[in-house]
Amino acid sequence: MSISIPRGTQDILPGEVEKWQLIEAKARELCEKYQYQEIRTPIFEHTDLFSRGVGDSTDIVQKEMYTFEDRGKRSITLRPEGTAAVVRSFVEKKMFGLANQPVKLYYMGPMFRYERPQAGRFRQFVQFGVEALGSNDPAIDAEVISLAMNLYKEMGLKKLKLIINSLGDKESRTAHREALVNHFKPRIGEFCHDCQNRLEKNPLRILDCKQDRDHELMKTAPSILAYLNDYSKAYFEKLQQYLTLLDIPFEVDPNLVRGLDYYNHTAFEIMSNAEGFGAITTLCGGGRYNGLAEEIGGPETPGIGFALSIERFIAALNAEGIKLEINQGIDVFLASLGEDAKDYTVGLLQQLRMAGFSAERDYLDRKIKAQFKAADRLKAKYVVILGDDELKNNKINVKNMASGEQVELDLNTFIKQFQELQA
């Protein structure tokens, strides 16, 4: 009986994985420039972390988490997102006491959500995200958005749209919450079961409902922007000023609420405008989450971050027809003729690799013509040919595959002479 891959997961094979590596390398390079340091948290956490941090009224907690009981009868959940785990580590490891503040971190790794698989959406998916903890300055919000936008742009994406909104502080949200309840309550029976449950728990989440998004009450729902107090309004205006200063175009969308309970003040999404990208256009989402650290037992700590899907990143590159430069080939392929020469290339291959060259040899006892074909498939810059006769005479032949030029070198000083050929 054959065993197939679980639904909603994927194998990333050679030829494709190099695209992932390029994106990951660019993300790390940018984080170094912006002074964000890597953090690696466990793939599973105590379930309470996500129900308290992400919010028990969210779709993630209600429907999408992979939760199980371990042998110690503890409820464990595969991480559905990265922020809660990073903040848990920030609190547990007392990073709020570090001299350098804010604490700026990034992560990269698999997340898990049980949802219907569709184009660009998987049950196991890979996220890159950043978190900046310890600053209430809207300039750090602009920096976080800038990092995400620059990552996309430096990989070649052009058809991007940034939308932003303010969810306000606690006072603003309380006033808006009351207005939303009064708006939806008289006709809440016309909405889905989830929205009916959200009315009292978190009415803001009704605005994020996919099933009822075309309902007429959605179009006339009170805007959060009308309920921002002076502090929240000034914060949002400052963010817009900084984005303009950074030459980052944006649109304000008062209906942008994001899907997690911990957001306040800044919320943003980056979308792809590429033709044929698909119905789900969001590439990246994030926002400010002041209060999350306190929710999981830490001191009062403001925070801002984002997360993006590598799978959707690659889908956007494909939609814009951007070909990443991958598979540049190897430096040298060792071809051998005769048993003694074949044995000798085992050690010679190691010498080449230790000298810094990417190198390969034949392992299938192929004829010399087939070995050259293998070298072509590997895009070898040079083919080194060693036969039993050459071995006896301490000679070795090197062929430049681009020019066709071939030279004979002394086997005893081959590595040094081969290095000189590259100069």
pLDDT digits (tens, 9 = 90+) for 341-393: 999 999 999 999 999 999 999 999 999 999 999 999 999 999 999 999 999 99
pLDDT at 177: 85
Q: Return the CA Rg of the chain.
A: 28
pLDDT tier at 214, thresholds 50, 70, 90 = confident
Q: What is the pLDDT of residues 44-68, one digit of tens each?
A: 999 999 888 676 666 677 778 999 9
Of 131, 138, 34, 137, the C-alpha closest to 88 is: 131
Instruction: Give ∠ CA 240-241-247 in degrees, rounded to 5.
Output: 90
Instruction: Output DSSP code: residue 212.
Output: T
pLDDT at 257: 78
pLDDT above 70 (res 109): yes
Instruction: Encode 385-405: b = buried (16+ Cβ within 10 Å), e = exposed.
Output: bbbeebbeeebbebbebeeee
Alpha-carbon distance of 265 to 295, in angstroms, equals 17
Q: What is the pLDDT of residues 302-342, one digit of tens each?
A: 999 999 999 999 999 999 999 998 878 999 999 999 999 99
Mapping DSSP to helix (H, G, I), strand (E, B) and coil, where does residue 378 land?
A: coil
Which residues touch 22 (CB under 8 Å, ≥6 apart)?
155, 324, 325, 326
pLDDT at 275: 84
Measured between alpha carbons, how far is residue 259 from residues 144, 204, 361, 363 in Å?
Answer: 19, 10, 52, 53
pLDDT at 56: 64
Alpha-carbon distance of 372 to 385, in angstroms, equals 10
Alpha-carbon distance of 60 to 66, in angstroms, equals 10
Which pTM value belongs to this model? 0.89
Q: Which segment of 46-55, 139-148, 396-405 scores lowest on mean pLDDT?
A: 46-55
Alpha-carbon distance of 293 to 134, in angstroms, equals 10
Q: What is the pLDDT of residues 156-182, one digit of tens each?
A: 999 999 999 999 998 988 888 888 888
